[in-house]
Structure 1
Amino acid sequence: MASIDLRGVGAPASVLSSGQRHLRTLDEEFAWLAAEVVPGGFGGLFFDENQNLTIYLTDTSQRGAAVAALIPYLTARDLRLRGGRRVDLNNMRVLSGRYDFFQLNQWKDQLSAVFEIPAVTAVDVLEQENRLEVAVDDLAARPGVERKLAELGIPLEAVTVVRESLPPPTKFLFEEQRPLQGGWMAGTNQRCTLGPLADSGPGTTRRVLVASHCTYQLGLKTFDLFFQPYGGGFAFGEEDEDAGFWWGYPCPSGKYCRSSDAALVRIFDGVLWDFGYIARTRFPGTAEGSYEVDPYNPTFRITSWMGQPFWNQTLDKIGQRTGWTWGQVDKTCVNYPYAYDVTKVFLCQFRVIGGGAAAGDSGAPVFAVLGGDSIRLAGILWAGKSTAAQADSTYFVFSPMTGIEDDLGALRYHP
C-alpha cells in the first residue's frame, strides 16, 4: 500500500477521468482509500448509532494495518464529536464486509444507467451497510431495476431497492407562492403576512384576510393593490372590504372602536388559490420558529374555527417574519388602543405569551393544532414582539374570529 500524502493525493484513474477537474467526492475518497491506502479490502467508514467510528473490511485479519493506515487521513480531518471532543481513532470498530469500496464505487458509476427508468429517484452507496441502494418512487419499478442490474453484471444481493420520492426543493415564507395560501409574505405599502383565504360560500368572491393596518389607511377601503411577495411580486388582488371605526357604548368615551384589525382583499380572476390551507414550516419555536416551509408537510389544513379562546389555551401562528411560533393565552378580551393612533381602540383582543412576532407578521393566521395537518382557526395577528430579556415575555396579539366576523360579516375559511 502507498503511504498517504496529506497535501492531496490524486485518485486512481478509474476513479477520476483523465483531465477531469472537480472536488473529490466522499465516494471517490473512499474508493481511493480502498485502492491505494488501506489494506484488508476497505469497505467504507461511518459513525454508528453510539457515535463510534466504524469501518468495513473484507479481510478483518488485517485490522491493525488498516487502522494504522487510516489514522493519518483521519487525523488530518480533525474529527470531533458534538461538544468538541476528539474522536478516539485508536478504538475504531471493525466489521466484516463483503465488498471493498473501490468495487462499490465502480458499480455506482455503472448504476447511472438505471436513471433511464423514470421511476428511479436516487442511487447511493450505503457505507453503513456495505452495499448499494436504488430508490424508486413506485416499487412496481423494482423488476425493471433488477433487469438492468443483471444487464450491468451487478449482483442483486449487493443492491437494495427502496421506495423514496424525490426530495422537493425548500421554500421560505418570503418567496413567491402560487397557489395562494395563508402565512406567506404579501403587502401593499409594507411587508405583511397573508391571513386565511375566505369566501361567503361556493361560487362567491374569493378573498383573503389581511391586517387592516397593512392597507394604506386603517379602517377605510381604498382599493389598494396587494402583491405576493411584497417588493417584487405581481399584484394578486385589491382591497375589497374594510370596516370603519364607530363610537358609543361599549367604546370608551372619546375613542373610536372596532372589533378587529382585519380587512379583506379580493383575489383577481386567474390567480390560483389553495382554499382552506396555510403554509406549514419545519418546526415551531417561541420567540422565533422556522420560516422554511416543510417540504414533506408543506401545509396545515383548516377544518374549523373557534370563537374566543380561554386563558392558558395553547395557540400557534405562522408569519413570514418570525415563522411558526406558539405560546399560551395570557390575556383575554383586552381593549387595546392602536399604537400609532391611540384614539382608535380594538375591542376584545387576545394575547399569547411566549409566542414571538415581529414587523412583517401582521395578518398571520393564529390557530390551534388539532393533530396531523388539521388546525382550528383562532384569528389573525396584528401586534407582538420577538425579543425580550426573558423568553416568556415575548408575545403576539390577535383579533379573534368572532371579532373579524363582527366587522366583516360571516365568512367561510375551508370547503
Structure 2
Amino acid sequence: MEIDDKSRDAYLSKEIPVQPGAYSFTELAVHRDLIERNLRDAIPLVLTDVDERRNVVVIGLDETANISIADVISKMARLGVPPEAVVFERMPIPQAAIDMSPDPKLPTSTLLPQLTDYVRPLAGGLKIDRNGGCTLGIPVWYGNPGNQTRGFLTASHCTGFVGYNNGSQWGQPLLSNAIGVEFEDPPLTNCGSGYCDLTDAALIDLNSAHDNSSMALPGHVYLTDFSSSTGPGGYAVTGETLPLGVQSPFMGLDVNKVGVRTGWTTGEITGTCVTTYVVVRHPDGVQRLTRLPCYIRATTPVNSGDSGSALFRIVYDPDPDGGNFLGILSACSGCNPDVTSQTGDGFYVSWSAISQAMNQHITMVEDQGIE
C-alpha cells in the first residue's frame, strides 16, 4: 500500500497555529446571515462560509455569471457588511455526486478486487447499486442499546428522493446482489426561502437474509492500494480496513475519503460550516435547487459516483492505525461526470448533523447497554 506522503507527513508533524482575528466568529456569522437573507436572489450566490482560519466570510459566486465584484460589495455595504470582512471566490455550481451510468469505468487489476467488484465483508468505499452508482459510506450499528442491528450510511439523494423513505432496495455491487433496504431518511426543512437539506444522509438496513449482508464491519472503511491528494487514487481493495470512531471537524484537519469513482483520496478541511446549493429530486419527484446548510468542505478529490463516501481522519503510528468518521459526501464542486480525471472539492454532511437528525441511535461499535 502506497500512502500519499502529504497526508501521513502532515499528520505526524502538524502543529496548531494561533493567529489574531479582527472579527469574532459571531460577528462573521451575522454578516453571512445578512448576505444570505437579503442578497440570495440579487447575486449569483453559490456558497457562503465563515472561514475562521482567514477570519473572513467567503462568498462563492457562479463563475459563469456576468457580475462585478464592486457591485456585490456595494450591495453588502448597504447591509452594513464591511468589505474587508469578505473574500470572493468564482466557482462552478456544485452538483450532487451521484453517477447514473451503469458502471464507472475504472482501471482493472488481475490481482486484487476493485471497489466496483463483489467484495465481502462489507465496509466503507464499495460500490452500491440502486439503478445508479453510489458509494457505501460506512456500516454502522443502529437501534436501542442492547438490541442493535447492522446498517450502513450513504447519501440521501442516492435513494432517488432526498428527505423521504421510499423503501429503496440496495445491492453490492449490483442490485441483483441484494444487501438491504432503506430504513430512515430525515425529511427536508422549509427554511423560509425554499427548502433546506440539513442531512443528506440515509440509513440502510442490512438484512441478513440477503446476499451475505450480515458480513459487514460496522465502523470500518476499506483502504486501497494507494492514496492521492491531486486526483483519483487507488481502486484495488487490499483487504485492509480501518476502524473508526467519530469526531467533529476543524479547519486544516487532514482527511480522507474512499469512493467508487475516484478511489482513495486525501486533502484537508477548508470549511466547517459551509452553506451551498444543489439541484436534487424532492419527494414529489421534482428537481429543485436546495440549500445545504452548515456542511463540511474538503479538498479531497471527488467526482460523480462518490456520493455517500465517508470523510474520515487517519491516525498514523506510523502506518494507518485507526481514525475517526466525520461525515458523508453529498456534493462536489468542479467535478465532471464525463471526465474521470477531472475532480473537485467535496461537500459533506457532518456526523453531528446525521446523529441529531436520525431517530435511530447510531454507533460505530455495538452498544450493549448497561449490564
**TM-score for both structures, normalised by structure 2:** 0.59
2:286 corresponds to 1:346: no
Secondary structure at the counterpart of residue 277 of structure 1: strand
Q: 1:182-204, CA deviations, whole angstroms, 9 ceiling, x for partnerless residues?
A: 11000213100001111234432
Question: Which residue of structure 2 lines up, in the alignment, with residue 331 of structure 1?
Answer: 271
- Displacement of 1:342 in angstroms is 4.5
Displacement of 1:344 after TM fit?
2.3
2:185 & 2:141 partners in 1: Cα distance?
15
- Pick one of 229, 238, 241 that aligns with 2:181: 238
Deviations 1:331-379 (A, max 9, x none): 22112222344542222101112x2111111111110001233010011
**1:267 counterpart (191, 195, 206):** 206
Kept after mapping to 2: 8 A contact 1:282/1:294: yes
The reply on whether 1:373 has 2:343 as its aligned counterpart is: no
Contact 1:284 1:325 in 2 (8 A): yes
Percent identity over paired residues: 28
What is the SS of the residue equivalent to 2:352? helix
Q: Aligned equivalents of 1:342 and 1:387: distance in 2? A: 20
Q: Distance in 1 between matches of 2:241 and 2:168?
A: 28
Give distance in 2, aligned partners of 1:260 and 1:202. Answer: 26
Matching residue of 2:123: 181
Q: Which residue of 1 aligns with 2:305?
A: 360
Counterpart in 2 of 1:408? 358
Q: Deviations over 1:255-285 (max 9, x none)?
A: 1223221001111124221222211101110
Letter in 1 for 2:325: L
Does the 8 Å CA contact 1:175/1:229 hold for their aligned counterparts?
yes
Q: Which residue of the partner structure matches residue 399 of structure 1?
A: 349
Does the aligned pair in 2 maintain the 1:305–1:378 contact within 8 Å? yes
Return the match for 2:237 from 282, 286, 293: 293
Residues 240 and 393 from structure 1, CA distance in 2 versus in 1: closer, same or farther, beyond 3 angstroms? closer
Deviation of the 1:223 alpha carbon: 0.6
More strand by share: 2
Identify the match of residue 221 of structure 1 among 147, 165, 176. Answer: 165
Q: How far apart are the structure 1 equivalents of 2:273 and 2:241? A: 29
Distance in 1, matches of 2:116 and 2:194, equals: 36
Distance 2:123 2:165 in 1: 23
Task: Label 1:387 to 1:240 Cα distance change in 2 as closer, same or farther (>3 A).
Answer: closer
Distance in 1, Cα, partners of 2:328 & 2:256: 11
Higher relative contact order (CA 8 A, sep 6+): 2
Aligned CA distance change for structure 1 residues 216 and 289 (closer, same or farther; 3 Å): same
Aligned partner letter, 1:261: D
Q: 1:387 to 1:345 in 2, by over 3 A?
A: closer
| SS across alignment from 1:199 | strand
Matched, 1:283 2:226: yes
1:312 aligns with 2:252: yes
CA gap of 1:273–1:314, structure 2 versus 1, over 3 A, is same
* Structure 1 position 387, deviation (Å): 5.7
Contact 1:357 1:386 in 2 (8 A): no
How far apart are the structure 2 equivalents of 1:393 and 1:343?
22
| Structure 2: runs of 5 or more not aligned | 1-109, 281-286, 367-371
2:124 is aligned with what amino acid?
G
What is aligned with 1:19?
none
Instruction: Return the index of the structure with the highest Cα Rg.
Output: 1
Offset of residue 301 of structure 1: 1.2
Cα distance, 1:314–1:342 mapped onto 2, change above 3 Å: farther
Counterpart-to-counterpart distance in 1, 2:155 and 2:325: 15
- CA RMSD after TM alignment: 2.4
Q: 1:192 to 1:300 in 2, by over 3 A?
A: same
1:344 partner amino acid: T
Q: Name stretches of at least 5 consecutive residues in structure 1 with no aligned partner.
A: 1-167
Q: TM-score, normalised by structure 1?
A: 0.53
Shift of 1:174: 0.3
Q: CA deviation at 1:414?
A: 2.5
Cα 1:202–1:386 change in 2 (3 A) is farther
Q: CA deviation at 1:393?
A: 8.0
Match of 1:31 in 2: none
Match of 1:403, SS state, is helix
1:152-192: CA deviation from partner (whole Å, max 9, x where unpaired) = xxxxxxxxxxxxxxxx9511100112221111000213100
Aligned residue pairs total: 237
Paired with 1:262 and 1:368, the residues of 2 have a C-alpha distance of 19
User: Using the alignment, how far apart are the partners of 1:313 and 1:342 within structure 2?
Assistant: 32
Residues 275-324 of structure 1: per-residue CA shift (max 9 Å, x gap):
222111011102211111125xx21111x1012x1122111101111001
1:386, distance to aligned residue in structure 2 (A): 7.2
Q: Partner of 1:209 in structure 2?
A: 153
SS in 2 for 1:300: strand
Does structure 2 retain, via aligned residues, the 8 Å contact 1:189–1:214? no
